[in-house]
Homo-oligomer: A and B are copies of this chain.
Amino acid sequence: MSEKELPGYRGKVLEALMKAGVKVEDRIRILENGQIFEGILIPRSEYSDDKHIVIKIKSGYNVGIKVTPTTKIERMGVGAKLTFRPPPPPEQNPKLPRVAIVSTGGTIASRIDYRTGAVHPAITARDLYSTIPEISEKANIEVEVLFSLYSENISPSHWTELAESAARHIEAGVDGVVICHGTDTMAYTSAALSFAIQNLPVPVILVGSQRSSDRPSSDAAMNLVNAVYAAGRAPFAEVAVGMHETISDKTTVIHRGTRVRKCHTSRRDAFKSINVPPIARVEEEKITMLTEDYRKRDRKREVVLKPKFEEKVALIKFHTGFNPKIIEWYVNEGYRGIILEGTGLGHVGSSLYEHLRNAIKNDLVVGMTSQCIWGRVNMNVYDTGMDLQEIGVTPLEDLLPETALVKAMWVLGQTKSSERARELLVENIAGEISQKSYYGSDWP
């Protein structure tokens, strides 16, 4: 047996499997601590640990068994061929639009480890495509597996790669791009792409799921199918997020990339447009626009790629008992920007004033947003807000704190001038700022 026949296995477990002379797809029996497990050895993802063997048992579920020095492994024969191998690519249908699916990892590309109950980012876009054959009826699909990451491990340099990938597909002529992404930081990434990929001719839709795709309750299938349909056909050309509108598998709602937020830890309808109506609703093969304020699809437009981000920007949430000295730490670390998540209309305690003054003297850009999430910063109402403006803190209108962070990273990636950065921060670049705001689902 060679390592090649045991993909994903490492260390002690790899040794034990090789010693037992088994390979992936073999039917094996494991004796561990008086228990017997039988099943087909399945490959593990590159994120796997070096402690578990995973077998697919008779019920179809995967079971992970921790290997100890006393574990016994026996080869029982060749297993039935595993069913999750990708089928041959479907024929190209000239009537369908071309859509690229770029996968980055996340729950939508995950499956459950049934022993631990935990989920791994293990399925590629290609697997998904075979798991959800419906998508081939919506578009001719091109697949790229870019990363296999939990979204909390996505960094600004991944945004750059992702923006470049999306632009590449668009330049190659697709009618839309769908990006599979973990939901945890999907809104950060959608904001980043909104600034990085400008002058879009077609939609770029991020899609994720709150339940992994091998659970019956998964929201992956509907979100992906609807996102693919919308990417290929919708009349808008923006970076957007497509997720469940309600808890039922009925409609996907499309949110503007700079205006969306994950507002629930687990529900399918976790994603909400903040301060604006969503862009559109997708139900079966029907797309309903929910706003007139959107950039129209226009295949003749040419993408302008500005994928550079400055990583030395922090988002700092103010709170009662906040230690103002932390501001100094960022100044000393050579940071170029701080986005404050202040209270109410855009306030922080007066104990921060001297530290903020010092940061701004050191050429940092300091912007103010609100931890209220909904509504608009207004630093002309209270004298404290006016004090902060005098110090040089920039009020950031109705920008979401997370979008403000991403925008500051992007703006400081475009210019070396803090003065110019401050101007750009309050300029509406990708629909992130508007004059009128809506609260909750209070839009017309």
A325 to B, closest residue via Cβ? B333
**Dominant SS at the A interface?**
loop
Task: Give the segment of A8-16, A183-191, A232-240, A248-256 that binds chain B.
Answer: A183-191
Q: Compute how far the CA of A378 lies from the CA of B156 in the bound complex, rounded to whole angstroms.
A: 26
Residues of B within 8 A of A307 (CB): none
**CB distance A150 to B384 under 8 Å?**
yes
**Could you tell me how many residues of chain A have their Cβ less than 8 Å away from some Cβ of chain B?**
81
**CB distance B264 to A439 under 8 Å?**
yes
A344 within 8 A of B: yes
A93 within 8 A of B: no
Choose among B151, B189, B266, B313 the residue that contacts A378 (Cβ–Cβ < 8 A).
B266
Residues of B within 8 A of A343 (CB): 151-152, 184-185, 262
Q: Compute how far the CA of A190 lies from the CA of B344 in the bound complex, rounded to whole angstroms.
A: 16
A376 to B, closest residue via Cβ? B265
Residues of B within 8 A of A385 (CB): 118
A112 to B, closest residue via Cβ? B381
Closest A-B pairs by Cβ, 10 of them:
A265-B375, A184-B343, A184-B344, A118-B383, A188-B320, A264-B375, A317-B317, A152-B347, A264-B374, A315-B319
Kindly list 7 other residue pairs between chains A and B, CB separation below 8 angstroms, not including A155-B349, A314-B322.
Answer: A49-B383, A116-B386, A182-B344, A262-B372, A265-B344, A265-B346, A320-B405
27 A-B pairs in the complex with CB atoms less than 8 angstroms apart: A47-B383, A49-B383, A116-B386, A118-B380, A150-B382, A151-B343, A152-B348, A152-B350, A154-B320, A155-B320, A184-B347, A185-B320, A185-B343, A188-B319, A189-B320, A262-B343, A263-B373, A263-B374, A264-B372, A264-B373, A265-B346, A266-B375, A309-B321, A311-B321, A313-B321, A314-B322, A326-B329
